[in-house]
């Protein structure tokens, strides 16, 4: 990670990505206290929601991937826009959060794999890595998961990371936004801010 990435414009931008309905807006609300609308009909907006707290900027991007009631073409537009926006702003993104629904992720990925397609979340993870953007995977909705360690092991495997998931705790933060359990994520965010010499922003998280 380069220092310049952080010092540019003096902002620390956390960019959130993920399919619709995984809990991105709920997480933004839990993290910042900002009342982002949640559970809204997905895929309607193309623009990210931006929450600013001094130099800390959280961008909640529209959900990519399948959305019921949204035309396929519109879904492609959303994905292309997100990809282009990441390419264009790569230098300004200090940290990306790739939010997934832990309770359905493995099943959804396997459905894509059975069609010989690259699951969109995996594609996005690889894309962020290619651009050398520091990325944290956030398996949300952990309250709906029974065998947590087993599911998290399966999740990291799907991203091409070796089990056990506990080896990857610096880039994986299981949460339950609905229950307000986001400590794992908060700890990682605080570590990233500290590493970027932005302790002045700790108070906003």
Contact status, residue 175 vs residue 140, Cβ threshold 8 Å: yes
DSSP per residue, 4-23: HHHHGGG-EEEEEEEBTTSS
Answer for which of 140, 168, 174, 189 binds ligand GDP (CB under 6 A) is 140
Answer for which of 14, 19, 25, 136 binds Mg ion (CB under 5 A) is 25
By CB under 6 A, which span of 7-15, 35-43, 88-96, 120-128 interacts with ligand GDP?
A: 35-43
| 173 touches ligand GDP (CB under 6 A) | no
Facing residues of 99 across strands?
18, 138
Torsion of CA 126, 128, 132, 135, to 10 degrees: -100
| Residue placing its CB nearer to ligand GDP in the complex, 107 or 143 | 143
| Beta strand spans in the chain (E) | 12-18, 49-53, 56-60, 93-101, 135-140
| 75 touches Mg ion (CB under 5 A) | no
Phi, psi dihedrals of residue 11, rounded to the nearest 5°: -100, 155
Closest separation between CB of residue 22 and ligand GDP, Å?
Answer: 4
Answer for which of 25, 32, 75, 135 binds ligand GDP (CB under 6 A) is 25
**Contact residues for ligand GDP (CB under 6 A)?**
18, 20-26, 38-39, 42, 63, 140-141, 143-144, 176-178
């Amino acid at each position: 990670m380069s220092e310049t990435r952080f010092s540019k414009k003096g902002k620390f931008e956390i960019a959130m990505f993920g399919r619709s309905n995984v809990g991105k807006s709920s997480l933004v609300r839990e993290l910042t206290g900002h009342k982002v609308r949640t559970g809204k009909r997905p895929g309607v907006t193309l623009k990210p929601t931006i929450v600013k707290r001094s130099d800390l900027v959280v961008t909640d991007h529209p959900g990519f991937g399948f959305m019921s009631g949204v035309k396929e073409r519109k879904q492609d537009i959303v994905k292309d826009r997100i990809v282009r926006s990441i390419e264009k702003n790569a230098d300004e993104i200090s940290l990306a959060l790739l939010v997934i629904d832990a309770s359905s992720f493995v099943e959804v990925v396997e459905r894509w794999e059975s069609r010989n397609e690259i699951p969109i979340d995996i594609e996005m993870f690889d894309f962020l890595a290619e651009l050398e953007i520091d990325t944290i995977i956030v398996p949300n909705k952990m309250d709906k998961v029974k065998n947590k360690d087993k599911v998290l092991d399966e999740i990291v495997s799907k991203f091409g990371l070796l089990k056990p998931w506990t080896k990857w705790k610096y880039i994986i933060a299981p949460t339950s936004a609905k229950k307000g359990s986001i400590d794992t994520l908060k700890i990682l965010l605080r570590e990233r801010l500290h590493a970027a010499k932005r302790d002045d922003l700790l108070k906003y998280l």
